[in-house]
Structure 1
Amino acid sequence: MAPPVPLLAVRGSEGTSLLSGPPRCEPHPAFQRDTHPSRCLTFSTDGTLFGWCNGRSVHVVKCIDGSTVSNFELPKTALIEFSPLNNILVTWQPYTKTQDSPQGEANLRLWELPSGRPIKSLYQKKVDSWCPIWSEDEKICVRSVNNELHFYENNDFNSIANKLHMQKVSDFALSPGTQPSKVAVYVPGSKGAPSFVRLYQYPALEGPSAALANKSFFKADRVSMHWNRKASAVLVTASTEVDKSGASYYGEQTLHYLAVNGETAVVQLAKNGPIYDVVWSPNSSEFCVVYGFMPAKATVFNLKCEPIFDFGTGPRNAAYYSPQGHILVLAGFGNLQGQMEVWDVRKYKQVTKLQATDTTWFSWCPDGEHVVTATCSPRLRVSNGYKIWHYTGSVLHRVDLAAGTELWEVRWQSFPVGSFPERPIKYQAAPSELGTTQATPTQAYRPPALRHMPATPSSKLHEDEPPQDLRPGLSGEKSLSKSALKNQRKREAKKAAKQEAKRESEPSTVSAPVSSSQSEETNGDPETDKKIKNLKKKLKAIDELKEQQASGKVLQKNQLEKIQKEEQLLEELRDLQVGQ
């Protein structure tokens, strides 16, 4: 059976339309374009339903034939969402007060589909986390209310089945999948106490041993939490608004890992600077982090938080895995030039490099073969439009809106996992009448006064780092070009020379404890020899930590305490050796 053809929903100042997806994008024959500008649109989780609000009413139709499922006279609706099994439609409108209703009206409403019967009306003043979160089987629904998490079961919203009360709960994330459901809860720190994230498995929410995992940390004004698809681990990006050290305009970020088996860790990043993006691979065993001052690094880590592949540096601030997990796009949007690197993550080989200037939106098509890039208002009010690409770089469809019209949103139809098989990756551009848009080679900045003069070799403002395979047993040299490999070897040789010069300049009393010749000396007293051996082992570990610190790696508190004990250990070692 051939896989289905995805739909693309387009919303703008000229109305809402549905297009039959790539490679050719034509109006969906069963959907009549709504000419009224709509405020919001969405697809159901399985992609069978499509809903939108045009400022007059909320419409829900079937994607396959465009037939009406329900209509709701809710002109002020700003957001809508379907429950995972399409039993409930959630609508939200801004919270307002009037003279007739000084307490305000309930602005979050739940409706039964397809009957249209109202189920529950609730108050939700803030747009943040406005929608209740369901488990995929709809047996559990969670909502945050006044420092509490309210759990409802089997879509019965007349009674709260369970509560998790913690002081100042500000965010939560429900795990994907079915039962048993797990929830990650964030509580910000106060009065000198650290912030923390805890994992619970429903319904075991109370008691000192109820938490599956707990991770506390300082420097966190807010967090973002990302579960992997298998619901076995969650990544927590902790952020502060201001970097008190003054090193970063973007504040300060740290990345933490929590697993349902109780394991926790701080993900060590090889470059200082902001964390721009964190994304799980669909296989749930790897994740990619884009981080560091520009040019930013991108690294893939395993579940032990060990780096397995480093993509080097580049103008990027976002990462996007294909739905099948076999392709990764590293992109630089926003204030960057729109460069997109397409990588085969099975071989860790670059497929192509594209340029999509002024892109404000990127999304993978569910088929894992195509992507859409768009320039939308209000982020950019000029040159609005969108392009459909094949991942090899070919532009298959392009729409540029006329001056005076705006594009607000484009969205692919959703599909259940496994609806589209993984196909072999191609390295040759797919045929297209619109051609390809390859990224232009970047050149080093030259001051205007020097631009008329011949270019001369000079030191670079930023040192570009090539990709490197960090998996055990693999050198990564196959993924490097000859020039990149040559530069890498030069850097390694330079670093080794500096370390050697440092050793030679150190006093003999400092270098003696870690020399290999002295490690073979014995005192004749087994107990003393054992103490000397242990001290040398600790000093060697301290040297390794100092080298890591010098290379820019951020050390943990216990590692810094070890370095501070170096003088004490050297003194103990000298006392033992004097007695020999």
Structure 2
Amino acid sequence: MDSVPPVASELFIRSRESAQIVRLRRLASIEEDAARLQLSADAGLDTATSLPGVPPGLASSTVAQFSLPDGNLLLWVDPDTRACTVFRVGAPGEPLEPVTRVGGTAQDEFIQDAAFSPCGAFLVTWSRPHERLADGNLRIWRCATGEAVRAFPHRHHSATAFPYVQWTADERYALHAVANALDVYDGSKLEQPPLLRIAIPGLVQFAVAPEAVAAAVGALDLAYVATFVPESANGAPAVIQVWAIGSSSAIRSRHGEVDGLPASGKEARCAVPVASRRVYRAQHVEFYWSPKVYGSGSSPSLVIRTSHDYDVHGRSYYGESSAHFLYLGNKSEQSREPARDPASMPEGPIHDIGWSPTGREFVIVHGTTPARATLFHGTGTATFDFGTGPRNRVSWSPHGRFLALAGFGSMSGNVQIWDRNKKKLIGQFQAECTTHWQWSPCSRFFLVGVCYPRMKVDNGFRIFKYDGTLVYERKMPTTQLYQVEWRARVPEQFPDRPVSPQVLTSMRKMAEQMTANTDASQKGNGSVASAVAGNQTRPSGAYIPPHLRRQVIENGVSMPPLKLHEHEAPQSLVSGPFLTKSQRKNRKKKEREARQQQQDIPSV
């Protein structure tokens, strides 16, 4: 059988002069050849594919985006005509094939943002409201033909909330929020009236769960959507609800008898709430659905980050935030799972939340600086503490093997790479002024970029190996880098490779060095404590700056280094290995059999 050629990692680079898709041809062999780690500016680039019609003064607001999850399509909004063109992306060096072109006419000349549907069948565009767009400025098009399917009026635009129409991953359903309601459409027939209208007074935000969740629980006609109603001016708390959408039999088989279901024996499509929570001090919300359901018979989970613009305790100028957890298991499942007290979620501020692509766990970065990072099982139980450090972001590799904890934005750009399976630190590096970061589809490289307009100087990007080794760097001192990202690929196209033996050796050396530093710090603190206990007083003399005091020896006592923060070391939060539901069931069975055998033994 012929061997399948490996899929190469490709970068999309968009600057003021050009936009290109380039292949880094040597990244696959860098791990075996340490001499190739230092690459020149173009030594690692293969043939580039340029986008046609890119003007010299390319506007920074121009949109370019790959389709998920395979990256075979690329949409491009022309900065002059404001037309959105969809290209089919081939091999590197091959010209892009135009698929369709929408907008750019007198009525659609103000396209500002665009996005693909999950399967790439539809295109969503938003234009500035205008009297000529009487039917609506939020439009949905078919990618294959460029046909306008439906239009909705939508005045205000937010890049973080776009697109305003959300599909399930298989495009079975499409959802769009209107005033005090949520409309559910047939995902492939948006030109028809909505199938359902869910009345939710005060609705401001919603998020559809990944379709992998519904498929894993054995109900293909079952989907979940989370909705948010902020707190009111009269003091009523915010309301977070999770709705199950599908046939009544599918909902009943999964969640039992729920309020709002039709009578038994009557089959109908409906939407009913299966979980809810009332939260105070919540003006804004971010939903984090589990990407998959881990284990057979399990249910999806949802982590919510709520925030408020004003901190009543006066601890922060930036308001306050908190984390909440919802588990969508049925009553029998919830009785078998460990208790998930809402108070078990960490206290704010909540900096970032990240689910593992496997769906079995998630990480929350929380607390005041230096922030703490905690690993939680998919059922909401804390299992590991990564300690404290200068961090505010978390990023999982596509295979879920590696985890990056970083401090970007106002922080110094320190990045730590952890091996999730071994729970060991395997590398760290500095990436100052980073505005964009992303794991490669093969989970072996980490991209950091300094892009315009967030940073107007020192534009460029760097690529690090998972152990923190720099393998590629490109600086752009004379131009502006608008966008750099990996071309989307399906992670299953790449093998899930473990840590190489060379990295394991460096891991052991790093652990020994950290242990030595900890012992030295404890020894220094102990000597100071003994000096204080012996009533030894410091002699008066000239003032010594804090950063030089460690070099001064007074009364035979070496002054410890001055530290602004005492960082805490990582530690496990479980007494033994964490057991899944099936493992706990087998353990209880063995214990029951052991007790039965003891009862059968006659007494002497």
CA contact (8 A) 1:212 1:261 kept: no
- Aligned pair 1:82/2:116, yes or no? yes
1:110, CA displacement in angstroms? 1.6
Q: Aligned to 1:185, which of 219, 222, 227?
A: 227
Q: Aligned to 1:44, which of 64, 67, 84?
A: 67
Question: Matches of 1:427 and 1:334 in 2, distance apart?
Answer: 34
Question: Matches of 1:361 and 1:331 in 2, distance apart?
Answer: 12
What 5-or-longer segments of structure 1 have no aligned partner? 431-439, 476-580
Aligned to 2:100: 70
1:133, CA displacement in angstroms? 0.9
Q: 1:466 to 1:68 in 2, by over 3 A?
A: same
Question: Matches of 1:462 and 1:392 in 2, distance apart?
Answer: 26
CA contact (8 A) 2:85 2:98 kept: yes
- Aligned pair 1:117/2:147, yes or no? yes
1:458, CA displacement in angstroms? 6.4
Question: Matches of 2:203 and 2:496 in 1, distance apart?
Answer: 40
- Aligned pair 1:301/2:376, yes or no? yes
Aligned to 2:10: 7
For residues 336-485 of structure 1, the aligned pairs below 5 Å read 336-403=411-478, 405-426=479-500, 428=502, 449-453=545-549, 454=551, 456-457=559-560, 460-473=563-576
Aligned to 1:197: 240
What 5-or-longer segments of structure 2 have no aligned partner? 28-42, 252-257, 262-271, 294-299, 335-339, 505-513, 522-542, 553-558, 579-604
1:146, CA displacement in angstroms? 1.6
Question: Matches of 1:448 and 1:319 in 2, distance apart?
Answer: 40
Question: Matches of 2:66 and 2:273 in 1, distance apart?
Answer: 35
Secondary structure at the counterpart of residue 20 of structure 2: strand
Q: Aligned to 2:344, which of 262, 268, 281?
A: 268
Question: Matches of 1:182 and 1:450 in 2, distance apart?
Answer: 57
Q: 1:466 to 1:142 in 2, by over 3 A?
A: same
Instruction: Give, as a single letter, the amino acid of the residue that structure 2 aligns with 1:85.
Output: C
Q: 1:156 to 1:387 in 2, by over 3 A?
A: same
Instruction: Give, as a single letter, the amino acid of the residue that structure 1 aligns with 2:486.
Output: W
Aligned to 1:130: 162
CA contact (8 A) 2:460 2:476 kept: yes
Q: Which moved more, 1:291-300 or 1:303-312?
A: 303-312
For residues 250-269 of structure 1, the aligned pairs below 5 Å read 250-261=318-329, 265-266=341-342, 268=344
CA contact (8 A) 1:296 1:316 kept: yes
Question: Matches of 2:383 and 2:473 in 1, distance apart?
Answer: 37
CA contact (8 A) 1:296 1:313 kept: yes
Question: Matches of 1:217 and 1:71 in 2, distance apart?
Answer: 45
Aligned to 2:306: 238
Q: 1:452 to 1:89 in 2, by over 3 A?
A: same
Aligned to 1:532: none
Aligned to 1:161: 195
Q: 1:60 to 1:88 in 2, by over 3 A?
A: same
Q: Which moved more, 1:250-259 or 1:292-301?
A: 250-259
1:61, CA displacement in angstroms? 1.4
1:207, CA displacement in angstroms? 4.7
Instruction: Give, as a single letter, the amino acid of the residue that structure 2 aligns with 1:42.
Output: Q
CA contact (8 A) 2:12 2:19 kept: yes
Q: 1:16 to 1:392 in 2, by over 3 A?
A: same
1:312-352: CA deviations, max 9, x gaps? 11000001110000000000011111111000000101111
1:244, CA displacement in angstroms? 0.4
Question: Matches of 2:47 and 2:146 in 1, distance apart?
Answer: 26
Q: 1:289 to 1:139 in 2, by over 3 A?
A: same
Aligned to 1:502: none
CA contact (8 A) 1:199 1:213 kept: yes
1:94, CA displacement in angstroms? 2.6
Instruction: Give, as a single letter, the amino acid of the residue that structure 2 aligns with 1:471.
Output: V
Secondary structure at the counterpart of residue 193 of structure 1: coil
CA contact (8 A) 2:20 2:48 kept: no
1:51, CA displacement in angstroms? 1.3
1:16, CA displacement in angstroms? 1.8
1:400-450: CA deviations, max 9, x gaps? 1133x21122222222352222111136469xxxxxxxxx99xx9xx9844
Q: Aligned to 1:277, which of 352, 368, 385?
A: 352
Instruction: Give, as a single letter, the amino acid of the residue that structure 1 aligns with 2:274.
Output: L
CA contact (8 A) 1:124 1:130 kept: no
Secondary structure at the counterpart of residue 408 of structure 1: strand
1:22-77: CA deviations, max 9, x gaps? 62753654544653225011111121111111212322211114222122343532
Q: Aligned to 2:85, which of 50, 55, 59?
A: 59
Question: Matches of 1:411 and 1:353 in 2, distance apart?
Answer: 21
Question: Matches of 1:182 and 1:391 in 2, distance apart?
Answer: 35
Q: 1:297 to 1:121 in 2, by over 3 A?
A: same
Q: 1:257 to 1:395 in 2, by over 3 A?
A: same
1:183, CA displacement in angstroms? 0.6
1:20, CA displacement in angstroms? 1.7
1:267, CA displacement in angstroms? 5.5
Question: Matches of 1:267 and 1:319 in 2, distance apart?
Answer: 22
Q: 1:6 to 1:450 in 2, by over 3 A?
A: closer
Secondary structure at the counterpart of residue 111 of structure 2: coil
Question: Matches of 1:18 and 1:207 in 2, distance apart?
Answer: 52
- Aligned pair 1:144/2:177, yes or no? yes
Aligned to 1:248: 316
CA contact (8 A) 2:112 2:127 kept: yes
Q: Aligned to 1:16, which of 19, 22, 25?
A: 19
Question: Matches of 1:86 and 1:134 in 2, distance apart?
Answer: 11
Q: Aligned to 1:290, which of 348, 365, 380?
A: 365
CA contact (8 A) 2:324 2:345 kept: no
Instruction: Give, as a single letter, the amino acid of the residue that structure 1 aligns with 2:145.
Output: S
CA contact (8 A) 1:367 1:420 kept: yes
- Aligned pair 1:329/2:404, yes or no? yes
Aligned to 2:592: none
Aligned residue pair count: 457
Instruction: Give, as a single letter, the amino acid of the residue that structure 1 aligns with 2:567.
Output: D
1:276, CA displacement in angstroms? 0.4
Aligned to 1:485: none
1:253, CA displacement in angstroms? 1.5
Q: Under a length normalisation based on structure 2, what TM-score does the superposition of the two structures give?
A: 0.70
- Aligned pair 1:26/2:45, yes or no? yes
Secondary structure at the counterpart of residue 418 of structure 1: helix
1:108-127: CA deviations, max 9, x gaps? 22221222222222222222
Q: 1:16 to 1:217 in 2, by over 3 A?
A: same
Question: Matches of 1:161 and 1:375 in 2, distance apart?
Answer: 45
Question: Matches of 1:426 and 1:362 in 2, distance apart?
Answer: 23
